[in-house]
A and B are shown apart, each in its own frame.
Chain A
Amino acid sequence: MTETVTVRVQRYRPEEDTAPWEQSFEVPYSEDLSILDALNQIKDQQDPTLSHRWSCRMAICGSCGVMVNNEPKLSCKTFLRDYREQAAVTVRALDNFPIERDLVSDISGFIDHLETVQPWLIRSEEQPVSAGAYPQTPEQMQRYAAFSQCINCGLCYAACPQFGRDPAFLGPGALALAQRYNLDSRDEGAAQRMQWLNAGEGVWSCTFVGYCSEVCPKDVDPAAAINRGKVASDINYAVNLLNILRGKDDA
């Protein structure tokens, strides 16, 4: 007889459920079975009404984030074999986001925060295409390379207790992305982004819990990015104070 594992899946269908509930499924076990494979097995073979997001199956698209036994994980990158010691595997929608249906979260608040920090190259004057690319040395690229690995999966937001308490907090992903562009030698938009970093909802809501960096599936280390953002905001504060003392406007 085939060995099976119990997978407890959070269900929530807004048209018929008043609150999320848990449903157990028995899934045939194999060494290489990921949580995503298990969810697809359930949807294809047992209950076609189950809703979950996924696309690439290789930790690039960032759409399959869920809570696995209370930890934010990419379901494609998490394997049932690592939970063999435990009686069951529990899968639910990402913490800190409203649930749309079953395992599907509404991450629009997170997407809005990403757009707030203007995550693109800002130039005071765009050079014409004929002038060629903006050159950059490997050393200059290394300054921001780690922060550019983000796949916008939202696991760091599910991990962040500050975002959970105040959704206005820009959060780890957006602040790491702001840092990624502020550290880019081709970018001239740091002054515009600093106003967001300087705010209470910017870097200063972070109390350096550090769980965001622990759960990040791409080793972006958003906690380090935020702390570097704090240094930048600190210097910005002192410069602004000096400017006020010299009679300039409060920026």
Chain B
Amino acid sequence: MRRSHEPVAWSLFGAGGMLLAFIGPGLVLTTALLPWLAADDPQATHAAIGALLAHPLGKLLVLACVALPLFHTLHRIYHGLHDLHLPAPRLPLQLLCYGGATLLSAVTGWWLLQV
């Protein structure tokens, strides 16, 4: 029997799911809600986020927080479409979902290097 290469997709899916579950709510709170609701000085918060993005570890964290959930979501959509009996061949769908996640991750990486 031929070994499936699904573990690659499933690992990214699992990592994205874990990340979303553990730090997703915290990220929404600290980057989207708190600066507007609680912080005295939104401009200082903006500068702090800018400093985070300037640091290599900060870039890596943001890349992980964008790329892994992308793979998670598109993997689930890909298999969800199969479960919904979408009458489409697998390869174009795989290209669209995993290719899309790869492309958007690459764009994020490129953008992070520009900051």
Q: Point out residues on A near B: beta carbons under 8 Å.
A: 161, 195-196, 198-202, 204, 207, 209, 230, 233-234, 237-238, 240, 250
Among B1-9, B20-28, B46-54, the stretch in contact with A: B1-9
CA distance A250 to B3 in the complex (A): 10
CA distance A238 to B79 in the complex (A): 22
- In the complex, which residues of chain A have a beta carbon less than 8 angstroms from the beta carbon of B14? 234
Q: Which of B1-58 contact A (CB under 8 A)?
A: 1-8, 10-11, 14
Please pick, from B4, B8, B79, B83, the residue contacting A199 in the complex, using a CB distance under 8 A. Answer: B4
The answer to whether A204 and B83 touch across the interface, beta carbons within 8 angstroms, is no
- The majority secondary structure among interface residues of chain A is helix
Please pick, from B2, B10, B79, B82, the residue contacting A234 in the complex, using a CB distance under 8 A. Answer: B10
The answer to whether A200 and B4 touch across the interface, beta carbons within 8 angstroms, is yes
- In the complex, which residues of chain A have a beta carbon less than 8 angstroms from the beta carbon of B80? 207
- In the complex, which residues of chain A have a beta carbon less than 8 angstroms from the beta carbon of B5? 237
The answer to whether B1 and A233 touch across the interface, beta carbons within 8 angstroms, is no
In the complex, the 8 A-B pairs of residues with the closest C-beta atoms, listed nearest first:
A199-B1, A237-B7, A204-B6, A200-B4, A204-B4, A207-B79, A234-B7, A198-B3
Q: Whole-angstrom distance from the CB of A232 to the nearest CB of chain B? A: 10
- In the complex, which residues of chain B have a beta carbon less than 8 angstroms from the beta carbon of A199? 1-4
Q: What is the size, in residues, of chain B's interface with A at 8 Å between Cβ atoms? A: 15
CA distance A198 to B6 in the complex (A): 9
Asked whether A207 and B83 contact (CB < 8 A) given A230-B10, A234-B10, the answer is yes
- In the complex, which residues of chain B have a beta carbon less than 8 angstroms from the beta carbon of A209? 83
Please pick, from A200, A230, A233, A238, the residue contacting B2 in the complex, using a CB distance under 8 A. Answer: A200
Asked whether A234 and B4 contact (CB < 8 A) given A161-B83, A207-B79, A207-B82, the answer is no
26 chain-A/chain-B pairs, Cβ below 8 angstroms? A195-B1, A195-B3, A196-B1, A199-B2, A199-B4, A200-B2, A200-B4, A201-B1, A202-B1, A202-B4, A204-B4, A204-B7, A204-B10, A207-B79, A207-B80, A207-B82, A207-B83, A209-B83, A230-B7, A234-B7, A237-B3, A237-B5, A237-B7, A237-B8, A238-B7, A240-B3
CA distance A99 to B14 in the complex (A): 39
Q: Whole-angstrom distance from the CB of B54 to the nearest CB of chain A? A: 33
Q: Whole-angstrom distance from the CB of B105 to the nearest CB of chain A? A: 20
CA distance A209 to B79 in the complex (A): 10
- In the complex, which residues of chain B have a beta carbon less than 8 angstroms from the beta carbon of A234? 7, 10-11, 14
CB-CB contacts of B58-98 with A at 8 A, as 1s and 0s?
00000000000000000000011011000000000000000
Give 16 new A-B contacts, CB below 8 A, not counting A200-B6, A250-B3: A195-B3, A198-B3, A200-B2, A201-B1, A204-B4, A204-B6, A204-B7, A207-B79, A207-B80, A207-B83, A209-B83, A230-B10, A234-B10, A234-B14, A237-B3, A240-B3
Q: Which residue of A lies closest to B3 (CB)?
A: A198
- In the complex, which residues of chain B have a beta carbon less than 8 angstroms from the beta carbon of A230? 7, 10
- In the complex, which residues of chain B have a beta carbon less than 8 angstroms from the beta carbon of A200? 2, 4, 6
CA distance A238 to B8 in the complex (A): 9
Q: Whole-angstrom distance from the CB of B87 to the nearest CB of chain A? A: 12
- In the complex, which residues of chain B have a beta carbon less than 8 angstroms from the beta carbon of A233? 7
CA distance A234 to B10 in the complex (A): 8
- In the complex, which residues of chain A have a beta carbon less than 8 angstroms from the beta carbon of B11? 234
Q: Whole-angstrom distance from the CB of A164 to the nearest CB of chain B? A: 11
Q: Whole-angstrom distance from the CB of A153 to the nearest CB of chain B? A: 24
CA distance A237 to B4 in the complex (A): 9
